[in-house]
Amino acid sequence: MTVVEPPFSPVTNEPLAEALQFLRMDGLFYCRSELSAPWGVTLPAMNDCLWFHVVTSGRCILADSEQQEHHLAAGDVLVLPHGAGHVAYDQGSSETPLVFDLPHDYVSSQYAVLRHGGGGEATELICGMVQFGHPAGRRLIEVLPEVIRIERATSSPEWQWLPGLTALMASETQTMRPGSEAVVTRLCDILVIQAIRSWIDTDPAAREGWIGALRDPAIGRAITLIHRQPERDWTVDSLASEVSMSRSGFSARFSSLVGRSPKQYVTEWRMMLADDLLRDPGPSGQLSILEIAMRLGYQSEAAFSRAFKRERGVPPSKARVATSNQPAI
């Protein structure tokens, strides 16, 4: 996805809120599953993707990649931010075929209905697999836990809208109408972002690491400045000045919260943007490597190529070729 930034207002005091704005999802696959006991399915690991499941009726068990069982009932939401492989089944199932090997009724290339099982107790799920196009969104996903679970979401005030949302999702995936793909995509965006917000609000782990750094008034502002203006010649001195801290105090605090130095973070962010720009041709044609270098603050194509090869192990020209040869998911 081409990195096209919206017209930003001056840097706000809500860096975490701004990071959440970048959770722009590209839906790869959505499925409404009508299951009857005994039933079981295996969902494979999908790199750089997020799996989500919503139980709309009945109950099931989901075993994550660590073999931990999650017993889910109607109203429960489970998100696997890193696309880990997992298994879903009813209490008595012993067979778990690969989900993509089962017959689906495809409404479109991305939307399907799965009917599977032995005719016993019924369970209905809405499941999906999405990718995140913007580097800030992917950066946020990287620091999330392996599993986010919202139990009995409908009993919580902030989740009272869930039954209506899942009913609309089921309706849109059952009878595709003009605009249905856009509707389902937006609804899934809401569902996944709400689950991530719930984790950020309630889990002590969200007070640490990169998310914790975004919550820090000074360091969060510095990170936002780097994200918005990767082309600037950021130094420890200039960043410290922007957030009204001493050079030594800022450097120590940034490294402690973020886990890397300001210089390392600037380079890492630029390389994430470079990966996107090399991959996507964009609306007006593919940018040249020199244009990418200029956009990211390098003074020459050679300087950018050296930095890219140092970080990625290959020059940008080879990275571009390798990406273009990857098969579509």
Question: CA 106, CA 292: separation in Å to the nearest integer?
Answer: 40
**CB half-sphere exposure, 183, CA atoms < 13 A:** 17
Least confident of 156-160, 202-206, 209-213: 156-160
Question: CA 253, CA 135: separation in Å to the nearest integer?
Answer: 23
Question: pLDDT confidence of 208, banded at 50, 70, 90?
Answer: confident
Return the percentage of the chain with pLDDT > 90, whole number: 47
Reported pTM: 0.77
Question: pLDDT confidence of 282, banded at 50, 70, 90?
Answer: low
Question: CA 251, CA 74: separation in Å to the nearest integer?
Answer: 48
**Which residue in 136, 143, 133, 114 sits closest to 35, CA to CA?**
114
Provide the pairing of β-strand 77-80 with 50-57.
antiparallel
Q: Is the pLDDT of residue 245 over 50?
A: yes
Pair 213, 223: CB distance under 8 Å: yes
Mean pLDDT of the chain: 84
Give, in degrees to the nearest 5, the angle at Cα 205 between 151 and 126.
30
Averaged pLDDT, 102-112: 83
Angle of helix 135-142 versus helix 262-279 axis, rounded to 10? 120
What backbone phi and psi angles, to 5 degrees, belong to 181?
-60, -40
Q: Is it true that the peptide bond before 38 is cis, omega within 30 degrees of 0?
A: yes
Averaged pLDDT, 121-125: 93
Residues recorded for the chain = 329
**110 or 319: which carries more pLDDT confidence?**
319
Question: pLDDT confidence of 173, banded at 50, 70, 90?
Answer: low
Question: pLDDT confidence of 106, banded at 50, 70, 90?
Answer: confident
Residue 33, pLDDT score: 92
Q: Is the pLDDT of residue 11 over 50?
A: no
Q: Is the pLDDT of residue 94 over 80?
A: no
pLDDT digits (tens, 9 = 90+) for 248-268: 999 999 999 999 999 999 999
First-to-last C-alpha distance (Å) of the chain: 15
Least confident of 105-109, 169-173, 227-231, 299-303: 169-173
The structure tokens listed for 21 are: 């704005």
Structural domains in the chain?
15-203 (2.60.120.280), 216-324 (1.10.10.60)
Question: CA 203, CA 212: separation in Å to the nearest integer?
Answer: 12
Q: Specify the residue for token string 């489970």.
A: 78
Please count the other Cβ atoms lying within 10 Å of the Cβ belonging to residue 318: 14
pLDDT digits (tens, 9 = 90+) for 185-205: 788 778 888 888 888 888 888
Please count the other Cβ atoms lying within 10 Å of the Cβ belonging to residue 92: 12
**Which residue in 110, 117, 115 sits closest to 95, CA to CA?**
117
